[in-house]
Amino acid sequence: MRNGEVLLRVENLKKYFPLRAGVFKKVVGWVKAVDGVSFEVFTGETLGVVGESGCGKSTLGMTILRLVEPTDGRIVFAGQDITNLPPARLRLIRKDMQMIFQDPFSSLNPRMTVQAIIEEGLKVHRVVPQSKMREEVEMLLERVGLSRDYIRRFPHEFSGGQRQRISIARAIALRPRLVIADEALSSLDVSVRSQILELLRELKKEYSLTYLFISHDLAVVRQISHRILVMYLGKVVELAPKERFFSRPLHPYSVALISAVPIPDPEARRSRIVLKGDVPSPLQPPSGCRFHTRCPKAQRVCAELEPSLQEIESGHFVACHFPGCVTLEG
């Protein structure tokens, strides 16, 4: 996938949220949710984005789509810089960039029928003639595994898995090139996750989709992704092809994440690396390497100098002064 066409390029992307206090709501600090993130997504690939809650994964996805405006950096989609596009021109790009949200209930308007939800984008972008709108919506429902008879129902009449299927149908209705799936499986029952994951795989092949798949579940990410990007406290700490990442992670944080994934072999053994303390606040991130306060191998330089993201091996990037200092055992 690395040799393919670059569909999305993110360059030094930042998103800071102001922290206000006092009667006059004066800005007293900045929450650095995304802080200097750079990467590329190639046409036809699935890039998995992983990390603990609060690391900036969801904010990254929403900033790329400009659902929240970036503080700094560049977003280049299909060769066009969309970072500062005015709303009218950005609207033309919207149909090619869609999102599947984490909570399928709150992301669906409870006052709208399934038909109204799915056809909304079709109407805005005039993709389908009005005379064929209902037929198109029914086709999309069937494609995501739902009955045509559901077209007049409301979101509250469905289970969580069914609501997520409706969200997926809405996302693919415009035949986008890029779909950002933000924790699309995390709110679903375990029994439903595999079905939705398989549906996403099928749709990717059928509609030639490119995925940015955001999740905290490494087991799920491993099943669907080509490459893995690891975020910690607003920063990218590792980016690597899937197999290389899981067999030889180079950042201590990546090693800790992988060590927590259960092994489906009762005879296999792996030492669990338990990180001490909580993730520091993005309001006051640690100096130097942001992971040094929890790293079992941190040295003085880690607290003083921030490591840059370097390509250690072909296609394998890591931001660490001592890559490979912590390894998987077993």
> DSSP 3-state assignment of 2?
coil
**Model confidence band, residue 127 (pLDDT cutoffs 50, 70, 90):** confident
Residue 67 lies in a domain: yes
> Mean pLDDT, to the nearest integer, of 25-35?
93
User: Which is higher by pLDDT, 68 or 328?
Assistant: 68
Tens-place pLDDT, residues 32-61: 999 999 999 999 999 999 998 889 999 999
pLDDT bucket at 286, cuts 50 / 70 / 90: very high
- Give the residue-averaged pLDDT of 12-26: 93
pLDDT more than 70, % of the chain: 96
| Spatial contact of 312 and 323, defined as CB atoms under 8 Å apart | yes
Beta-carbon count within 10 A of 328 CB: 16
* Mean pLDDT within 268-275: 70
> In terms of DSSP H, where are the helices of 144-210?
160-172, 190-207
Q: What is the C-alpha separation between 290 and 293, in angstroms, rounded?
A: 7
What pLDDT is recorded for position 330? 44
Read off the pLDDT band of 327 (50, 70, 90). confident
CA distances from 117 to 76, 112, 113, 137, 173 (A): 29, 6, 6, 10, 11
What are the φ and ψ backbone dihedral angles of 238, each rounded to 5 degrees? Answer: -160, 145
- pTM (two decimals): 0.92
Distance CA 104, CA 232 (A): 26
Q: How are the residues of the chain apportioned to helix, strand and coil, as percentages rounded to the nearest 5?
A: 30, 25, 45
pLDDT digits (tens, 9 = 90+) for 129-185: 899 999 999 999 999 999 999 999 999 999 999 999 999 999 999 999 999 999 998
Most confident listed range (20-24, 109-113, 191-195): 109-113
The mean predicted confidence, pLDDT, of the chain is 92
301 pLDDT more than 70: yes
- Whole-angstrom distance, CA of residue 36 vs CA of residue 59: 13
Q: Is the pLDDT of residue 1 over 60?
A: no
Q: Count CB atoms within 10 A of the CB of residue 237.
A: 25
Question: Within a domain: residue 143?
Answer: no
Residue 187 in domain: no
Amino acid letter at 24? Answer: F
Rg, Å, the chain Cα set: 21
With respect to residue 125, please indicate whether it lies within any of the assigned structural domains. no
Q: How far apart are the first and last CA of the chain?
A: 30
* pLDDT score recorded for residue 273: 76
Q: What is the DSSP letter of 310?
A: E
**What average pLDDT score do residues 224-230 get?**
97
For residue 328, name the pLDDT band (cuts at 50, 70, 90).
Answer: confident
Q: Domain limits at 56?
A: 6-96+208-318
d(CA 308, CA 168): 37
Any domain includes 64: yes
Give every CB contact of residue 218 below 8 A, 6+ residues apart in sequence: 50, 257, 258, 260, 261
Number of domains making up the chain: 1
Is residue 264 predicted with pLDDT exceeding 80? no
The answer to whether 47 and 225 are in contact (CB under 8 A) is yes
Asked whether the predicted pLDDT for residue 265 surpasses 70, the reply is no
Give the amino acid at 241. Answer: P
Handedness of CA 106, 118, 223, 231 (dihedral sign): negative
Q: How many helices (H) and strands (E) does the chain have?
A: 10, 12
CB count in 10 Å sphere of residue 17: 16
40: β partners: 9
> Tell me, what's the pLDDT at 166?
96
In a domain, residue 231? The reply is yes
Strands (E), the chain: 6-21, 26-42, 46-50, 72-77, 80-81, 97-100, 178-182, 210-214, 227-232, 235-241, 310-313, 316-318
Q: Is residue 108 part of a domain?
A: no
Q: Using CA atoms, how far apart are residues 287 and 141, in angstroms rounded to an integer?
A: 50
Q: What is the CATH number of the domain that holds 252?
A: 3.40.50.300
pLDDT given for residue 4 in this prediction:
76
Between 278 and 251, residue with greater pLDDT: 251
